[in-house]
Amino acid sequence: MLWIWFTLLAAFAQSGRNAFQKQLSKTVPVLGVTLARFLYATPIAFGYLYFLYQVEPSYAIPQFSGLFFAYILGASLCQILATALMVQLFRLKNYAIGVGLARSEAILAAILGVIFFGTEISYLGWLGVIIGGVALFLMTGATQLRYLSWQTLLIGIGSGLSFAFTSLWVREASLQLHSDFLLSAAWVLFSVISLEALLLLIYLGLFERSTLQKLWKQPKFAIATSLFSFLGSFGWFNAMSLNDVAFVKTVGQVEILVMLMISYFIFKERLKSQDLIGIFLIVLAALLVVWG
């Protein structure tokens, strides 16, 4: 059941990362905010990988196959696209419901996993995934459906689909290494983050230098975004090395519950009836996934 603790860590860290990204998006263009997620996380990921080899001398360098690098490249490109689309949602009026659509990742990952990756999901597991999707939709503005624009719909679903492919390919890359799950996840984490940072730095350096300049002027938010991004990816990648993506992402939806609790206890904002129903359904979905 270790994957559950990694998932909870990821959910908490992701809440913080999204908050810092939203702050950055006020002054920094989309790709600059996307780069902030990976830039300072790269040395942290390398340091963590180095630390593992120091504390466990028996670890060997894994055998990297061509398929491993293909999965890493696919996951990196999809995560850049998914993050850029998510940041774009921050600027839309339908932000909440757009983010809810982006979090359709769990359902999309379940469908894609069964079709393309041989994932096996029990009836209880499917029920949990679906209930989690319904809960998320309720808590992110189902009553505002009539105000949903096509732009928000396409960006939200596009982000969710890209995140789903990222997660599935991260898991497949980890399985290719045939190592202890901590070492496999650490190599995948470092490979994906460093490649994403490199690709974005090259592109922005060639075509959008002004974006880099704006990002350099926000070091505190950029470093905080990278730190929480690393912690989130650390949790996700380890959890997905241990269990199927659909289950991990469904349990990870407790992130929304955490955000609502912060809103209620810290900012003294009242919860709506649909929020309370959504909280109950998210807990139910997580329990069904664990039991299934």
Q: pLDDT by residue for the chain (292 residues), tens digit each?
A: 899 999 999 988 988 887 788 789 889 999 999 999 999 999 999 999 999 999 999 999 999 999 999 999 999 999 999 988 888 876 665 555 656 666 778 888 888 998 888 888 888 888 888 888 777 777 665 555 555 667 777 888 898 899 999 999 999 999 999 999 999 999 999 999 999 999 999 999 999 999 999 999 999 999 999 999 999 999 999 999 999 988 898 888 777 777 666 666 765 666 677 766 776 777 788 778 767 5
pLDDT (0 to 100) of residue 51: 97
How many angstroms separate the CA atoms of 51 and 48, rounded?
Answer: 5
Q: How many other CB atoms are there within 10 angstroms of residue 54's CB atom?
A: 9
Do 28 and 218 touch, CB atoms closer than 8 A?
Answer: yes
pLDDT (0 to 100) of residue 27: 93
User: What is the model's pTM?
Assistant: 0.86
How many angstroms separate the CA atoms of 111 and 119, rounded?
Answer: 9
Task: For residue 103, give the 3-state DSSP assignment.
Answer: coil
How many angstroms separate the CA atoms of 157 and 169, rounded?
Answer: 18
Contacts with 26 (C-beta within 8 Å, 6 or more apart), sequence order:
none
Q: List, in sequence order, the alpha helices (H) in 208-218.
A: 209-216
pLDDT (0 to 100) of residue 199: 96
Distance of CA 74 to the CA centre of its chain: 15
Do 261 and 78 touch, CB atoms closer than 8 A?
Answer: no
Residue type, 172: E
Q: How many other CB atoms are there within 10 angstroms of residue 134's CB atom?
A: 16
